[in-house]
Structure formats: C-alpha cells, structure tokens
Chain A
Amino acid sequence: MNTNGLFDDLDFGDFSAPSSGSSRKVPICLVLDCSGSMRYADGTKRPKIDELNYNIDAFLEYVRNDPKASKICDLCIITMGDAVHVISRYNTVDRIHFGHFAASGGTPLGTAMKTAIDLLTERRQYYRDNDIEHYKPILMVMTDGDPTDDIWAISRRVSEMVANKEIKIFPVGIGINFNQETLAQFSPLLKPKLIRNSEAFDKLFKLLSASSSNPNDDSLEKWFNNDF
C-alpha cells in the first residue's frame, strides 16, 4: 500500500525529542535477607546487615552518578525478615528513597522470590505496553540462612525461567555458616557465590554496578564462575 501522505504528522524539522521513544532498560531486582541472623558479623568486619546497608548505599550512589546507569537501571528492592517488604517497585534510582535496613525475624525466601517474579512479570507487561526495550532481567538474591517458608514451587519456576533464558539469577550466600544447597535450587546454571568477608561484599556490588551501566559486561557472571 502506498504510504504517501499517511505519515505526514512526523515532523522532520522538530527539535524536541519524540516523547514515545524511551531509553533502554536493564531491570535489576535485589532480594535481600534482613532476618535476625544478619545482626551478627560472620566472617565480615561488621554485622552482615551493616555490610549490606553500606554496600547498597555505595551501589545506589554509583548508579545515581553514572550518566548511563542512572538512565537505564530499572531497580526493584525486596527485603525478607519479619515479613516480605517491597522497598521499591521497578524504578529509576533517582526515584528510590529508603532508610537503612534493620535485621529481625525469619527468612521467608519463598514468598520473597514469588513477589520478585510477580513484580518482574508486571514490569515486563509495562515494557510491552510502552514499547520499552530492555536487557535480560537480573535477579540477585542474597541470604545467610535456611528459608523459613516453602520454596519448592517457586524455585522450580525460577529455575525454568533461568533455563529458558528469561532471567539471569545471581544467588549469593552470606557468611561462613551458609548452606548453599538452598539457593542452588533456584539456579540451574550458576553455582551460588559465597560471600565470606567484607572484601567480597565490596567486589560483588562493584561488579553489579558495572552491569547496571553496561549490560553487556559479563564480569559478574565470570566472577560467579571464578573466572575473573
């Protein structure tokens, strides 16, 4: 069909950027353990919850100040402790504000992961509806202990999504007493990475920062594979 005249509402001489275009996104979801056991230093210099707070601050600071990451990083934060809290739904970092996390309660990992997948599904639909391109979603889950709820169904679902290359999961075990079998159930490809000291905490969040500004940077994956 001849298109002559049909697209005349496109103004070739208009300097204002088209509002319907949009920056590409890299969806990152952090599922963080804030259970009571995070109160203790466990191989780290300070209590694990303090390490977490410190490194999350540094990560947010990086993303806020990096011209690219601040635009493309679409961040979602979920904590698990007394209950599962959605600290922030997917959003750009300039719109995410919260105080420091406190440690108390159990580790409802199953509920937290289900919330993460539900929010990701919702975000995917949003991308579709708004014509937004995105890189493969990153889901980083950090915990220092055994789950206090059922993870069977959700771990199977997440594993399937990873195997189907719908998401990339980075499972992180914190502390020297961590049992990696639990997290491994979510991650058919990458073995859980054990974070046993402050330096490893620092390294993990530095590599995550690199992924937030350059989604093609595979250093995080390489580090998980001990190939860095």
Chain B
Amino acid sequence: MSQKNYYYLDSSVLLEEDFYRTLEALWGTDNCSVMDAHIHREIEVYRGLGKLEEALTLESYVDLLGPLKGTVQVDTAGGFDADALAPLAKEKLFVLTQQQKLVDNFASLGDAVAFLSFDGEGLVPFSGSTSINGEAFCPDRDIYVDPLDGDQLTYVYSPRYGYLKLDKSKEYSGGEGVCYRTYNGMLCKLYYKKHITYVNFKKLQTMVNMRCSNPYVSWPLDILYYRNQFVGYLMQELTDTRSLDELRDDNFSGFRLLDRFIIVRNFLSVIEYLHGRGILVGDMKLDNVLVKPNCDVHIIDAGSFQVQDYACNVCHKEYTERVYTGDDLKHILRCEREEYFPINKIIFEILMMKGPFYSRDNTEIDGDGSRDFSFPLEFSGENAADLPYHMKVWFALSPAMRQYFYRYFTEGKVTYVSEWLRELELYILSKQKQTAANA
C-alpha cells in the first residue's frame, strides 16, 4: 500500500486568493485533505465581524471538502495541540498555513511534517520569523571618547528644526537619558554619557531616515547636537496622556471595563504595525505605553526600539522572559517571540489589573518567586458572586482569550497579534451592543 500524503488546510491559507487552483492540483488518490474543527469557530468569528466574504469562502471549503471520502477531520484545539495530527505524521503530513503559530505549535511532530505557505502562485516552504537570536551591530571601539552630559546643556541643535532652547523647569528621566520640553510641542531626549555611542548615533540616523507615519509611535524626528556633537534625539510631545503604569495603580479610573478591552486592542494594533516592519519595542513595559482619555494608545521611547541590526539596550526584569545583562544587551538581537512575554503580561494586567502570576499564595510581584500561572482555563462552578474582581473579569473573557493566555503562560505557546486582534474586535463589538442595550 502506498504512503498517503496528508494536507492540513489551515483557514489562513484557504482564505488566500486563488488558493483553490493549487488545491485542485493536489487532488489525487494518495492525497488527503485534513480539516480542523476550529474552522467552524473561524467562520463564526468572521461572520460576527461582518466579514462575510471570508466566512462564505471558508464555508464553501467546508461544504466541498467535508463530504469527500479522503478528507480527515481533526481537532487541534485552535492550533494549540498537535496530538490530533500525530497519527497522520506517521505517514507524510504537509501543514499548509500562513501562520507562524502553527509552525511553532506543530513543530513537536518532528521531521515528518513539512510546513508550506501559499505565495499567490503555489506552495513554498514556510519562511516566518525565527526564534533564534541574531547578532547586533556593536563595534568594539567607540568613537565618542568624551561625551557631553545632557543635563548640563541649555540648548541643542537639530538640522531639521534649528536651535532649540530646553525647558529645564521639568524633566522626565528614564533609563537611557533625560527628556526636556522645548517649544511647539517637542521633546528632546538627551542621553546619559554612557549611551552617547556611535551605535546609538547610527541607529537614530537609520530611524530618522526610515520615517514612521504611525501617529501612535513616538518616532525620532531628528538627531540633536550640541556644538556638532551628538547628544540625543527629538520627538513629538504627547499631552493629556497617562501611562499604563499610573493607570494600573489607579484602577484605570475614568475608564470602563469595556474601555480596557479597547485599550488592549489599540495597543496590539500598534504592536502589529511595528512587528510588521520588523521592529521590536524591546524595552516593553507599562511606563512606555501612554493612554489618552479616548483610549488611544501611544508607544514612547522609540530610541530604544530594536531596529534592523541595532539592538535594544535596555531591559526590565519584570517584563522579560530572559534577563539580558551587560554585554548581552549590546550584542544580542531579540526575536519577535520573546516580545510576547511583555505583550501577554501587559494585556493581562490591563484587563485583570493583576499580574499573571498573582494568586492568594503568591501576592509578590515577580520578584525572584515563581512564574506559575494559576488562573484556570475552565470555571469550576464555585459561587460566581463570591469571586474577587480579577477572577470575574478572567471568566468574563471569551474562552478563546482565556485559552491564549493559558497556553502562553503554561506552555509557552504564542498567539500572534493578528489572531488576538480578531478575537478582541469580535468581543468588543458584542460588549458594545450589550452596553448600548443596557443603557
């Protein structure tokens, strides 16, 4: 008996235009389609979001492939669990997907699985982001031998905006330097001496030339000099904002529970924009995310982002999975996967207003203690009214969102931003309807 080829058809690939022709070419006696039960949930999500074209496309694939004799039905719990595919991997399994998530989560099946994606014309080997750390640009010698101390200066020069007088009445200090206001709504970030380096100068040059049209990222607008020497960079000042750190200690006062979901969505939209351009925030923490009263979310401190092969030189113990110290910060490029630790932690904190490792037995915030996640996936039927607020919010999340957190914090399985955004969008829509109906 000849070996069978199984083709797992993820909805992401089914939704690609013209994929049908490629699928037709695969039909043959030894080839079987593999359909995931999750597709029905995806159809529901697209329908809920009003994306009827996507819903109908997936439905027609279900109608077409479902009744076929060679089609195999599996349930991978939304792409998290590879067990259902293990028997197929004993023969030959091809996973057709556009999603990094499946490549991560099904990798445990071993060499019998090939991951393919659709490039518009045909199937090609999947080439997504890797979880391997790259090497950062970091020359041994630094050309700035005698850097100036930013807090001694009263004015700086920007080639684009001219001479700028620093308003010294207020300063905002951070890990890498101090920010001062200047005229017409600009902020000057002046580095501490040890950060006035050739690498930072080249990185900022690259960033200024790249430009960034996203208004929710405080991108460097120009490099700042004092007497021809690089001292920092210029950015737009944001007004009427509060940091997530401040809001967290203030119970997000002034925001509804629904608003907190909107804040999460807006935050993830900015992350999607940055990741889509290969940029990592790097030093992602509550202080670097600012929120306006209308729930707009801004990410600041762009000078420390990881851009191209320029590393992020700062790291916050509480918000990283792997603590980078000393030279590592300069030499190692982080990978996108690593950024999902702060992403998951931050959105968890916005929603539950507790850290993900919180429990009655572990009230200490991420000291040297355990990072055990004790929020249960399923509600076990205790008296709902007696639960503390953070547990009520937890169980009020959609089952999919609970699963995203649970799988990440217990198994390290990442749900990427695009999937989070779809789920959040649907959830927000339904709660908006509910809130309007109650009003």
Contact = CB atoms under 8 A, between A and B. Distances in A.
B20 interface: no
Contacts of B258: 12-13
A90 B211 CA distance: 50
B396 interface: yes
A11 B434 CA distance: 10
Nearest to B402: A3
A135 B368 CA distance: 10
Interface stretch (B147-155, B242-250, B298-306): B242-250
Interface size class of B (residues with CB under 8 A): 35 or more
Contacts of B245: 68
B114 to A, nearest CB: 39
Interface string A207-221: 000000001100000
A135 B251 contact: no
A17 interface: yes
A191 interface: no
A136 B252 contact: no
B389 A20 contact: yes
Contact of A17 (B253, B354, B388): B253
A132 B381 CA distance: 24
Interface in A136-162: 136
B388 A131 contact: yes
Nearest to B394: A7
A24 interface: yes
Residue of A7, A9, A12, A23 ringed by the most chain B CB atoms within 10 A: A12
A12 B257 contact: yes
B139 interface: no
Interface string B338-370: 000000000000000111001011011101110
Chain B contact residues: over half helix, strand or loop, or mixed? Answer: loop
B251 A22 contact: yes
A215 B355 CA distance: 15
B390 A131 contact: yes
Contacts of B435: 12-13
B256 interface: yes
Nearest to B261: A12
A227 to B, nearest CB: 12
Contacts of B250: 17, 23, 71
B3 interface: no
A18 B381 contact: no
Given A165-B368, A216-B318, A134 B363 contact: yes
A134 B439 CA distance: 37
A46 interface: no
Contacts of B363: 124, 127-128, 131-134
Contact of B384 (A7, A18, A128): A7
Interface in B368-423: 368-369, 378-381, 384-385, 388-390, 392-393, 395-396
A120 to B, nearest CB: 12
Contacts of A72: 249
A165 B246 contact: no
A7 B365 contact: no
Interface size class of A (residues with CB under 8 A): 35 or more
B438 interface: yes
Contacts, number: 111
B431 interface: yes
B255 interface: yes
A141 B317 CA distance: 26
Chain A contact residues: over half helix, strand or loop, or mixed? Answer: loop
Contacts of B389: 18, 20-21, 131
B379 A136 contact: no
A90 to B, nearest CB: 14
B381 to A, nearest CB: 5
Given A24-B365, A68-B246, A165-B367, A131 B354 contact: yes
A17 B396 contact: no
Interface in A1-52: 1-3, 6-7, 9-24
B316 interface: yes
A67 interface: yes
A12 B431 contact: yes
A6 B431 contact: no
Contacts of B385: 9
A16 to B, nearest CB: 8
A146 to B, nearest CB: 33
A24 B249 contact: yes
Nearest to B368: A165
Contacts of B369: 165
Interface string B254-269: 1111100000000000
Given A6-B379, A131-B354, A12 B395 contact: no
Given A12-B257, A20-B389, A134-B365, 6 more contacts: A13-B435, A17-B253, A19-B251, A131-B354, A133-B365, A216-B316
Interface of A: 1-3, 6-7, 9-24, 67-68, 71-72, 124, 127-128, 131-136, 165, 215-216
Interface of B: 245-246, 248-258, 316-318, 353-355, 358, 360-361, 363-365, 367-369, 378-381, 384-385, 388-390, 392-393, 395-396, 431, 434-435, 438-439
7 contacts: A6-B379, A6-B384, A6-B395, A7-B396, A10-B396, A134-B364, A136-B364
Nearest 9 pairs between A and B by C-beta? A23-B249, A13-B435, A20-B389, A17-B251, A17-B253, A21-B251, A12-B258, A7-B396, A6-B384
